[in-house]
């Protein structure tokens, strides 16, 4: 039997996402109503973190607990991974003792190697190239606020990073368009994009990319693992911020999203992230609900 992993956004079909969105809605309602729901009793999630996290750790750990299961946190410093145990060996051992594994690491090749040796489903909790759980939560949040995302325009301002590549995959699955604006020298890596370029357009001018958008989103200028480039990036990205002028170019009811953590005064002004169009707290909360639906689906299959 082939094991279903969730390593990239494109690993699930539109049909599966529609099912999961409905499950996430139901699971969220149960949580809000304090209704116990324990489909994963006696099941164990192992979480491997090679980078820092607040939201991803909290949402997976709390989510697994709320579903009746247990979550175990491992990081590089305290596990043998930090002392050079091969990722393939770690995957075989961890997957014999658990039902599902979440991995946050550096290169995407690392999680692919891990998944190839795992007996249980592996979820990507962020790699340098992809952050599918976050973009799934973002799409869910958009649908909650505005209905279907099909045919809509999402504007991405900033770095060509893991979030962007997951947004580009989401655009293909859900059939919407992404207006992308990245500074020169921080261009889209076309090796990470499918051959279908019909779902995105690149703009040299970030304000032009916002024209008529239904959602404007951005992320840190310097992702984890690239900290030594921070000073150079701050100069290069200075105009690639989201401010009220750019939001005024978007549709009047446009939403603003940011996966967090955010830097007010860098990629977004306080006025925008703390303003009425921002849904960043819903976006963060929805990590919990969509990931619970995902955990249930990957461990048990369709319920
Ligand atoms: N958005 C997100 O993944 O946050 P953390 O790095 O805190 O997990
Ligand atoms: N692009 C950011 C996302 C953090 C959640 C990073 O990789 O650091």
Residue 56 Cβ contacting ligand 1 at under 6 Å = yes
Decide: helix, strand or coil at residue 278: strand
Q: Which residues contact 296 (CB under 8 A, 6 or more apart)?
A: 23, 27, 39, 40, 67, 303
Would the CB of 223 count as within 6 Å of ligand 2? Answer: yes
Residue 17 structure tokens: 């996402």
Residues forming beta bridges with residue 103, ordered by sequence position: 48, 124
Q: What mean pLDDT comes out for the span 24-52?
A: 98
pLDDT for res 302:
76
Is the CB of 161 inside a 6 Å radius of any atom of ligand 1?
Answer: no
| Cβ atoms within 10 Å, residue 25 | 16
Mean pLDDT computed over 171-177: 98
Q: What is the DSSP string of 136-172?
A: HHHHHHHHHHHS--TT-EEEEES--SHHHHHHHHHHH
Express each pLDDT in 118-149 by its tens digit. 999 999 999 999 999 999 999 999 999 999 99
CB 198 within 8 A of CB 226: no
Tokens standing for residue 301: 């299959």
State whether the beta carbon of 278 lies less than 6 angstroms from ligand 1: no
Residue nearest (by alpha carbon) to ligand 1 atom 1: 259
Q: Known catalytic residues? A: 104, 131, 134, 219, 259, 287
CB burial class (10 A; 0-12, 13-18, 19+) of residue 236? middle
Those residues whose C-beta lies under 8 Å from the C-beta of residue 88, and which sit 6 or more positions away, are: 113, 114, 116, 117
Residue 65 contacts residue 72 (beta carbons within 8 Å): no
Q: Is this complex's ipTM strictly greater than 0.90?
A: yes
Name residue 157's beta-bridge partners. 181, 218
Residue 68: C-alpha distances to residues 45, 61, 295 (Å): 11, 11, 12
Q: How far is the CA of 1 from the centre of ligand 2 (A)?
A: 33
Whether the Cβ atoms of residue 136 and residue 9 lie closer than 8 Å to each other: yes
Ligand 2 close to Cβ of residue 220 (< 6 A): yes
Closest CA to 287 of 74, 61, 104, 110: 61
CA atoms of 98 and 60, how far apart (whole Å) = 15
Over pLDDT 70: what percentage of the chain?
A: 99
Residue 303 pLDDT > 90, yes or no? Answer: no
- The rounded mean pLDDT for the chain is 97
pLDDT tens figures, 222-274: 999 999 999 999 999 999 999 999 999 999 999 999 999 999 999 999 999 99
50, 52, 55, 161: residue to mutate for ligand 1 pocket, most atoms within 8 A of CB = 55
Given ligand 2 and candidates 127, 220, 226, 233, which is best to mutate, with the most ligand atoms within 8 Å of its CB?
220
User: Is residue 70 over pLDDT 70?
Assistant: yes
Predicted confidence (pLDDT) per residue in 84-108, tens digit: 999 999 999 999 999 999 999 999 9
- Give the mean model confidence (pLDDT) for residues 274-278: 98
Strand order in the sheet with 122-124: 70-75, 44-49, 100-104, 122-124
Is the backbone peptide bond immediately before 15 cis, with ω within 30 degrees of 0?
A: no
Structure letter (DSSP) for residue 249? H
Predicted pLDDT of residue 2:
87
Question: What is the tens place of the pLDDT at every residue in 258-271?
Answer: 999 999 999 999 99
Q: How close is the Cα of 221 to the center of ligand 2, in Å?
A: 9
């Amino acid at each position: 039997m082939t094991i279903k992993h969730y390593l990239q956004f494109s690993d699930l079909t539109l049909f599966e996402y529609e099912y999961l969105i409905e499950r996430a809605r139901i699971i969220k309602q149960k949580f809000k109503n304090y209704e116990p729901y324990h489909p994963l009793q006696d099941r164990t999630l192992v979480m491997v973190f090679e980078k820092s996290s607040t939201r991803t750790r909290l949402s997976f750990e709390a989510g697994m607990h709320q579903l009746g299961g247990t979550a175990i946190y491992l990081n590089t410093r305290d596990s043998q991974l930090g002392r050079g145990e091969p990722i393939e060996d770690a995957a075989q051992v961890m997957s014999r003792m658990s039902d599902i594994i979440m991995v946050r690491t550096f290169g995407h090749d690392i999680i692919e190697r891990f998944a190839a040796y795992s007996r249980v489903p592996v979820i990507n909790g962020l790699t340098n190239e992809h952050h599918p759980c976050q973009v799934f939560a973002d799409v869910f949040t958009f649908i909650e606020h505005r209905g279907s995302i099909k045919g809509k325009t999402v504007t991405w301002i900033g770095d060509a990073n893991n979030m962007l590549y997951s947004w580009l995959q989401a655009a293909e699955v859900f059939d919407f368009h992404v207006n992308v604006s990245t500074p020169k020298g921080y261009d889209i890596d076309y090796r990470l994009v499918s051959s279908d370029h019909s779902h995105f357009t690149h703009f040299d001018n970030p304000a032009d990319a916002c024209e008529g958008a239904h959602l404007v989103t951005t992320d840190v200028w310097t992702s984890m693992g690239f900290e030594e480039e921070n000073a150079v990036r701050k100069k290069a990205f200075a105009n690639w911020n989201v401010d009220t002028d750019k939001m005024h170019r978007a549709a009047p009811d446009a939403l603003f999203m940011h996966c967090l953590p955010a830097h007010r005064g860098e990629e977004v002004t306080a006025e925008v992230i703390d303003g009425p169009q921002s849904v960043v707290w819903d976006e963060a909360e929805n990590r919990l609900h969509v990931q619970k639906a995902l955990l249930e689906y990957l461990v048990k299959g369709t319920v």
